[in-house]
Chains A and B, each alone.
Chain A
Amino acid sequence: MRRLARAATGALFASAIALGTAGIAVAQDTGTVYVVHGIPDTPVDVYVDGERALDDFAPGTSQGPLDLPSGPHQVAVFPADAADGSGQPLLSAQAEVPAGGNVTLAAHLTAEGQPSLTPLVNEVGEVPAGQARVVVRHLAAAPAVDVLAGGEPVVRNLTNPNQEALEVPAGTVSAAVAAAGTTDPVIGPADLTLEEGTTTFVHAVGSLQQDNLELVTFTVGGGDSAPHGVPAGAPSGAPSEGVPAAGWAALSAAGVALVGLSLARLRPAGRR
């Protein structure tokens, strides 16, 4: 797994709004929201502004994309058998949905095993042609971890509730999670198929102590970009004898001088 870009995000809480609007220039009055449920054994209903938005939301799954009006929303998480959105929720938070932004709201355990709601900004912008982005997130009751690809660490010392983004060649990678500094998986290995132009969000959730760690994964498309060029001439570095250059060979001495000038101007291009 070749690492082309590396974006560690530490202070998620503080930086969420700014990052959420940074990558998207188009002003919109809605934002895109994904919801991840990473608290084991606890099906929930999710209420947004007092209305039930998700019913019987199963642990270890995600929902989305949901389009929500931009601005603040009151999010409350109740046990799935709750009659309505009144009373004392399991978790609640004020969620700011940035206009045109893309965010994840994750219900998960802290490193110490306490339930928590964490907002995370989804980086879903363009990736280079042929590449895919993977965002790995530590949302589990567990100490620092390394993320392994093909058995080799590609993200080191990731702690709850942080994330790290990688851009990698599109394809299938064998991914695993191990305690920081080790290569013995506590999750996986599992094959992740990373399609070109997509971003795959991988959430490690659950509890190491309870032996119920797992990955919750979703993929967002639309990050395609074109190659930088099409080098479609003369792979050996020289053209065929007398092919389009023939016209040039027939030029007068004055013409040849002009050719020299033209070639000098072309030089900075530097590659075919």
Chain B
Amino acid sequence: MLATSPVWAGLPDARPATPPPAPVVAAAPVAEPSAPVAPAVSTGEPVRVRAASVGLDAAVVPVGVTNDGLMAVPENVAEVGWYRFGPLPGAASGSAVLASHVDDRVQGEGAFADLSRMGPGDEISVDGPGGPIVHRVREVRTYPKDAVPLADLFRETGPPRLVLVTCDGPFDTDARSYRDNLVVYAEPA
């Protein structure tokens, strides 16, 4: 693409006689990411999520991804994971995602066991260092796992939104997995 035709004029020899300074390592990016996570209204990571309508009151921990690229849901079914590579709850834009197991034979009922009983208008409060951020449920939907709109659930731009995800539907004993994902969409109140 560039037919480089350097026409330099004595540049390489124009060096100072004094020793140059020690190598400087400029690790700081000069250009910020073009699509940064929007600044949060809250001042830090969520620590607790509460929804009185379904008796939800659980600790929130930051999570990332598993080695095979799935969201890393906390092994402890009493805990809720916040997807730390996405927006914070209370951020000015984007979709903040919380996920937790529905239940487990060993551990019993999970934090999100009763999420399917949520309905539009229910209140969900996420506590962070800046205080509680209140959301209201707009919609509750169930998707087969191969049809979950993941790109939308985890979108980093667009209107601010809180998304709660757990499992639902029949349990497939061979896949050792529930068939569906239950998704609760909520908006800042």
**A residues adjacent to B (C-beta < 8 A):** 13, 16-17, 20, 34, 39-42, 60-65, 88-96, 98, 103, 105, 109, 113-119, 128-130, 170, 175, 186-188, 190-193, 195-198, 200, 206, 210-222, 224-241, 243-245, 247-248, 259, 262-263, 266-267, 269-272
User: Which residues of A lie under 8 Å from residue B24 when comparing CB positions?
Assistant: 60, 214
Max chain B Cβ within 10 angstroms of own Cβ: one of A94, A217, A228, A232: A232
Q: Known A229-B150, A272-B175; judge A235-B33 contact (CB<8 A).
A: no
B21, B25, B75, B167: the one contacting A190 at CB < 8 Å is B25
Other-chain residue from A113, A196, A212, A272 in contact with B20 (beta carbon distance below 8 A): A212
B176-A240 in contact (CB<8A): no
CA distance A213 to B33 in the complex (A): 26
Q: A92-B6, A96-B2 are in contact. Are A130 and B171 (CB under 8 A)?
A: no
- Chain A residues, CB < 8 A from B145: 229, 269
Complex contact B101–A235 (CB within 8 A): yes
Q: B26, B36, B176: which contacts A215 (Cβ < 8 A)?
A: B26
Contact A94 B12 (CB under 8 A): no
A88 CA to B177 CA, complexed, in Å: 70
Complex contact A229–B14 (CB within 8 A) = no
What are 20 A-B pairs with beta-carbon distances under 8 A? A39-B11, A42-B14, A62-B30, A62-B31, A92-B7, A94-B3, A129-B65, A130-B85, A187-B23, A210-B15, A217-B28, A217-B30, A219-B32, A220-B31, A232-B73, A233-B102, A233-B171, A236-B104, A243-B102, A259-B170
Q: Is there contact, CB below 8 Å, between B29 and A218?
A: yes
| C-alpha gap A113/B36 in the complex (Å) | 38
Query: Interface 1/0s, chain B 114-140, versus A by CB < 8 A?
Result: 000000000000000000000000000
Partner of B105, one of A95, A195, A240: A240
Distance, CA A88 to CA B97, complexed state (A): 58
Give the top 5 A-B pairs by smallest Cβ distance, nearest first. Answer: A221-B33, A233-B167, A272-B177, A130-B65, A226-B154
B residues near A116, Cβ cutoff 8 Å: 4, 6
Contact A13–B2 (Cβ < 8 Å): yes
Chain B residues near A170 (CB, 8 Å)?
64, 85
* 1/0 contact string of B135-166 vs chain A (CB within 8 Å): 00000000001101011011110000000011
Residues of B within 8 A of A (CB): 1-9, 11-12, 14-16, 19-36, 64-66, 68-71, 73, 75, 77, 83, 85, 97, 99-109, 112-113, 145-146, 148, 150-151, 153-156, 165-179, 181
Cα distance A93–B3 in the bound complex, in angstroms: 6
- B68: A residues at CB distance < 8 A: 228, 271
Closest residue of chain A to B27, judged by CB?
A: A190
Candidates A16, A89, A230, A271; contact of B165 at CB < 8 Å: A230
Given known contacts A94-B3, A115-B8, A230 and B148 CB-to-CB distance under 8 angstroms:
yes
B25 with A228: CB separation less than 8 A: no
Q: How many A-B residue pairs have CB under 8 A?
A: 289
CA distance A92 to B3 in the complex (A): 10
Most buried by B among A103, A193, A195: A195
| Residues of chain A within 8 A of B12, CB atoms compared | 109, 113-115
Residues of A within 8 A of B150 (CB): 226-230
List, in ascending order, chain B residues with CB within 8 A of A195's CB: 33
**With a CB–CB cut-off of 8 A, which chain B residues contact A115?**
6, 8, 11-12
Cβ–Cβ < 8 Å partners of A187 in chain B: 23, 25
Residues of A within 8 A of B70 (CB): 227-231
Whether B3 contacts A234 by the Cβ 8 Å rule is no
B34 touches A65 (CB 8 A): yes
Task: Please tell me which one of the listed residues A90, A109, A200, A206 contacts residue B23 in the complex, with CB atoms under 8 A apart.
Answer: A206
Chain A nearest CB from B173 CB (Å) reads 7
Separation in Å of the B9 CB from the closest CB of chain A? 6
Are B173 and A224 in contact, CB atoms less than 8 angstroms apart? no
A63 to B31, CA, bound (A): 8
